[in-house]
Amino acid sequence: DDIVPSFSGSVSSYNKRGDGANSAIMTPVQIAQMEQNSGQDQMMQLISNQDYLQERADAMQTVESHIVELGGIFNKLATMVSEQKELVDRIDENVDDANENINNSLSVLTNTLNSLQSNKMLAVKIFSILMVFIIFFVTFLA
């Protein structure tokens, strides 16, 4: 049964809610006992609530310490990434330099090949002139 307060004029009392017609008015002693029991129930709830709140506070401190640890890890990671960025930039510059050197060496090799081909033609011309002189010398002077 539910106990509900009732007010009539300047006097208040607690009534047990029943079938409607069978409502009983409680005496002041019963009201005092009920309030004392209610206070004890509230105190027990308060104690259990305090335990719960303490557990929650401990859990929050644990979470906070984990967040602080994660912050430190992320700071270390950021430092490592910035250090690696410098290395990657240097590697990129070295690759660009190597590519430029390869292109320059290809150009030099192409020029050398062209020079050798023109030198072959020069050698063939000189050899031809020498052969003409040798044949002329052997034929007319010997």
Tens digit of each residue's pLDDT, the chain (142 residues): 455 455 454 444 445 554 444 456 777 777 777 777 776 676 666 667 778 888 889 999 999 999 999 999 999 999 998 888 888 889 999 999 999 999 999 999 999 888 877 777 788 888 999 999 899 888 887 6
Quote the CA–CA distance of 79 and 83 in Å, as a whole number.
6
DSSP per residue, the chain: --EEEEEETTEEEEEE--SSTT-EEPPHHHHHHHHHHHHHHHHHHHHHHHHHHHHHHHHHHHHHHHHHHHHHHHHHHHHHHHHHHHHHHHHHHHHHHHHHHHHHHHHHHHHHHHHHHHHHHHHHHHHHHHHHHHHHIIIII-
Two tokens, residue 95: 């690759």
